[in-house]
Each structure stands twice: as structure tokens, then as C-alpha cells.
Structure 1
């Protein structure tokens, strides 16, 4: 992504998080601390306070065609794609899961989920995410590039709008140059899968009523109705 941003190369300092990950993967001995010298001089330093930044979204057909989410809200989406190497981590899938849990997928929007690795795929099954994705109506693919490079599964039709968490949206990226690819976060994709159009996840984050609560509510309504009927019958008998 550094190249798309106009740089020749992008360097990120390693830290304890990097070290812990390598240890978890059985490669702790491969860790090397890489960080700039304390005396390093930079041509320019850019600091961004993301806490004050509205959710962003990339419009077709370029990753740097970025605008505020509010400018895209309401755009009809035919397919939501979550996953691959960019946003297929367990944390990403968890964000999606927490928003769609107990909700219904919009009937006019397809949902495809692609975990980044076999390990993550198994973790989604162990945590119950996989079952909820299937209940929601999503198609869960085996780990791989898949729709991200337009080689199989999820190739869009002419004129379709796709909302994806992948890292590129160049024309024809998903296998059809006549489609339109928007890029967003897992949270925005989850909200959109529910609404059928690009939506702000902050507007759908209220906790839905569980099926158990709905059943209890309907059961109590039936009890109240039956009591009302019995009172009516008793009143009729007294009149007689």
C-alpha cells in the first residue's frame, strides 16, 4: 500500500506486538528489532488524530479516491466482501460478527467472507463466528485471494456495486471491469450487509432483541390475550 500512497517503500518499526506474534507462530527466534535511530531526521512528519476522523471510504476506481463515509451513505450495494490478507484477521471477523449477530442480511445483498488463513478459519469456527455467518446468509470461502483478484467466487456482474475490505479497487480488479468497487472497514461492511446500502455502523450498533426475548414477549402477549378472553367469558356468564 506504500506504493499506492506514492512511496518507494514503506517501513514500520517492529515492537513487542511483532515479537509476541512471532512467538505465537513458533518463530520467536526470528524476531529482530527494527527501528529508526534516535538521531534520525525526517523531511516531513504527518500526525493524524484518528479519534476525530469520520469513517472513510474509497470510491471507484482508485484506493486514494477517498472520501468521508457520509458522502457515500445510501449507495446501493449488491455484494459485500470481507476478508483476504487485508481485513481477514480474527479481529476483523470479530468486528463483523459483533454487528451482524442476531440480525438479518438484506435480501438484495450477497455477502462473501474469506478468512486470511486456515488458523483463522478454525478460530472462527471455535468461537461460533462461522455458524453465525452462515445463519446470516453469508458464503464463507476457504482461505485464499479468491474474489480479491477475480479468480473465483464473487465475480460481480455488469453495473454492480461492491463494498469490500480488500486493499485495491482498480477497474476490473474483481474480474469484471464493468463493476464498481468501494473499499471500507469491516464495521461499515457489516452495517451495509444489513441495510443493503452503504451505512454508518454507529447507526446500527444498538443491541438487537434476542430470539429468546422475542419469544418471551410473544408468550406474555398470548397469556394476556387468554386472560382477557377468560374475563370476557366470566362477565357474560354473570350477566346470564
Structure 2
């Protein structure tokens, strides 16, 4: 019997000829990442256990993205702690406050390649499955074990396969596709499963759009989200490797044709409409027209889900076409990384956002966590291109957040209320 993509990666990482769902394996880790929120607990655990040496400073990536620049004394102390750790252990892959969100920066800098095992002390590490890697979030204390040994045990997950076919209509994006899927499966419908996205629709998606899909796999409970690597994947990885001097061989692993999936879902998108994930759950998904008309206070365009260059382009196209944003709506734009920011500046997008009255922040997690900017007050309603709309996620427990694509979010900014972008 053949193996799925995830099973083949875990078999390789654990030195086994084959594995099956439910097997417990000890896998060698290729990349381990922590950021400024999760890193300090990892470091403190290592110190508490008296571990003086990390397993491989070349495979550890540390960056700051949640509280950047430091917004409190505590944040500044955490930054100091992590900088000292970096120097002590000779961690070469360290990105201080300037680079942006971890899940954008890692592939952008060439740290993620097909066929590898990537762990991050952040739940949305599953983003990197867009490149044909097994990528998953782990806890900070588990990460301490990885830093010390370079290995971690996993239970081999079952795989749910989503065969996505059809052509996306204008104003419909991969964000609408993944929200639709989560609405169908539910927030716990893929708990500790691998979810694999395939089909002609996915093949036609850009790398950025694929990252949006895998980023939100965790929102249906999945252990990881993966997309089989193709020529588009390989070309992207080779380009970023050349750009950053990280050229090295990698193995493109694909699932076997006779692999068995726990379940196969057929998703046809020809008739898919723009959607919102309504408060206060990501699986509370409704067609945009069904909830249109509700006044809003703020729009956030950014995050590791939809803060890439193509997302900024889509949002600006809507704003420009309709002459700007509503007077009473705050619009916060946060590019996912410094590279995205610079590219957006070169295209004139940042200048245009400012021209239309938007607030553009430094690359960071920004309003997605309500940690730095864009905190919603009691009774306020926000539209966000991020990945979670739990109560209090972006501010007051009495606020509401609607998740949407960059196109729909920008349309809401123009209208000043929830709207289907086709109805502007």
C-alpha cells in the first residue's frame, strides 16, 4: 500500500521504510523556529535543565514579530533575553525587529524546502506546508527538547484530501476557498489530521494564495496542511535560495498514487461566492450578501494569512476603483515582511494607501493579535484578513471581527459596512 505525502516525509525523517497512520515515530527536525513571544519560555526551559549547547545552530531560526518594536518593559526584556541566547549559541538565522512575520520570512529567506520537517513554536507554522514540507506548531517546552536534541516524536496523522476543482470567479480568492472548507468541515473536523489540498484550482494558485490555504489548516484542527510541490514550488524555492545564498540540494517528495486517505472531499469552486467568517468562530461562515449592511469601524489588511504583495495589490485595486475609503472607517495595512513592504513601496502601493487615509504599519503581527495596533473597543466591529476571530482576539471582549479576503475587506472599507465586493 502506498503512502501519502505526509507519511513519506515522516518515514524519511524517522529513518523508516514506511509508516502508517497511528504509528509513533521519532523524527529528525530540519528547521526549528521560535519568536519573541514563545522563545523566552524555550530558553528558560533549557537553562532550567542545565542544557548548555543546542543541537545545531544552523537549523534554528529566531525572529521577533509579535511585539516589535517592544511595546512594554516586559517585551524589551524578552528581546534582550533572546538576543543574548543568539550570541551565546551562535545562532546565524536571527531576524530582529525589522524583518516581519515568521511564517512569511522563513520561506522568503529560503529556510523551507520540500520533503523536510519544520516545527515552530506558533500554531500557524502549518503555513509552510504550501512548499511540500511537513510543518506544524509545537509548544515552547517541546521546542526546548528540539533545541537540545534535534528530534521530536509524532503520531503519524491520517490525511484528509481536498480535491479542489473549477475556476475562481472575479472577487473570489483562496481565502474564500479555505473559509468555505472550514465552514463545511468545522473547527474540529480535522483534529490531528493532515489536510492536503490538491486539484486544478490549487495548481493554478500562486504561491502566496497556496500559503493562505495551508496557513488556516489549523483552524479546522489539523496537525498540518500540505500541498504537493510542483514546478511552481521548485522555481520559487530556487529563486529565494539564489537570492539569499542558501543554495543546497533538496528532495521533492510526492505521495504515492495508491496512497489511502481517510476521506476525500470534492470541492467545486465555479459557483463559490465571497464569504465572511462571522463572530466569534472561524467556521461560522456565511455568504457576504447574507450579512451585508452591518456598519463597521475598522478594516485590517495584513497578517501571515493575507499580508503578501498580491494581497496588497488586490486591496488597492478595489480602493482605487471606488475612489477611496469611507470617512468613518479606520484602515490598518500591515505588510507581512520587509521584503513585501519594499516591493509595495517600489510599486507605489504604500504611497497610495497613505493617500487614501489608511494607516500603514511596520511589518509585524500587528492587529492580528491586538498586541500593538488596531485594538477594537467595546461594541466596535472590524473586518480582518487574518485567521482568527475569537472573542477578544483583536481587542475588547465586546467587539466583533469578521474574517474576509483582501478584496472583500477593501470593499468593506470603501462602503463603510459589510458588503459583497460585487455589489459596490
TM-score range, shorter chain: 0.7 to 0.9
The CA deviation at 1:10 is 2.5
Q: Residue 161 of structure 1 is aligned with which of 353, 374, 381?
A: 381
Asked if 1:78 corresponds to 2:297, the answer is: yes
Instruction: Provide the secondary structure at the position in 2 that maps to 1:35.
Output: coil
Partner residue in 1 for 2:231: 16
Partner residue in 2 for 1:29: 248
Per-residue displacement from partner, 1:109-155 (whole Å, max 9, x unpaired)?
00000001000000111001111100111000010101111111100
Instruction: Provide the secondary structure at the position in 1 that maps to 2:301.
Output: strand
Q: 1:6/1:122 Cα in 2 relative to 1: closer, same or farther (>3 Å)?
A: same
Query: Do 1:73 and 1:197's aligned partners in 2 also have CA atoms closer than 8 Å?
Result: yes
Of 178-187 and 10-19, deviating more is 10-19
Instruction: Provide the secondary structure at the position in 1 that maps to 2:225.
Output: coil
CA RMSD of aligned residues (A): 1.5
* Structural mapping, 1:1-240, within 5 Å: 1-26=216-241, 27=246, 29=248, 31-101=250-320, 103-204=323-424
TM-score after normalising by structure 2: 0.46
In 1, distance between residues paired with 2:305 and 2:277? 15
The CA deviation at 1:19 is 1.6
Instruction: Provide the secondary structure at the position in 2 that maps to 1:133.
Output: helix
**Structure 2: unaligned runs, 5 residues or longer:** 1-215
In 1, distance between residues paired with 2:249 and 2:338? 22
Instruction: Provide the secondary structure at the position in 2 that maps to 1:29.
Output: coil
Query: Do 2:377 and 2:395's aligned partners in 1 also have CA atoms closer than 8 Å?
Result: no
Instruction: Provide the secondary structure at the position in 1 that maps to 2:401.
Output: strand
In 2, distance between residues paired with 1:201 and 1:141? 25
Instruction: Provide the secondary structure at the position in 1 that maps to 2:237.
Output: helix
In 2, distance between residues paired with 1:133 and 1:8? 37
In 2, distance between residues paired with 1:143 and 1:31? 30
Q: 1:28/1:189 Cα in 2 relative to 1: closer, same or farther (>3 Å)?
A: farther
In 2, distance between residues paired with 1:30 and 1:64? 40
Partner residue in 1 for 2:35: none
Structure with greater contact order relative to length (CA < 8 Å, sep ≥ 6): 1
Q: 1:125/1:107 Cα in 2 relative to 1: closer, same or farther (>3 Å)?
A: same
Per-residue displacement from partner, 1:4-57 (whole Å, max 9, x unpaired)?
213333232122222222222224536431321111022321121112111111
**Structure 1: unaligned runs, 5 residues or longer:** 205-240
In 2, distance between residues paired with 1:46 and 1:185? 23
The CA deviation at 1:65 is 0.8
Instruction: Provide the secondary structure at the position in 2 that maps to 1:112.
Output: strand
Q: 1:30/1:61 Cα in 2 relative to 1: closer, same or farther (>3 Å)?
A: farther
Q: Tell me which structure has the larger Cα radius of gyration.
A: 1
In 1, distance between residues paired with 2:413 and 2:402? 14
In 2, distance between residues paired with 1:31 and 1:74? 50
- How many pairs are equivalent? 204
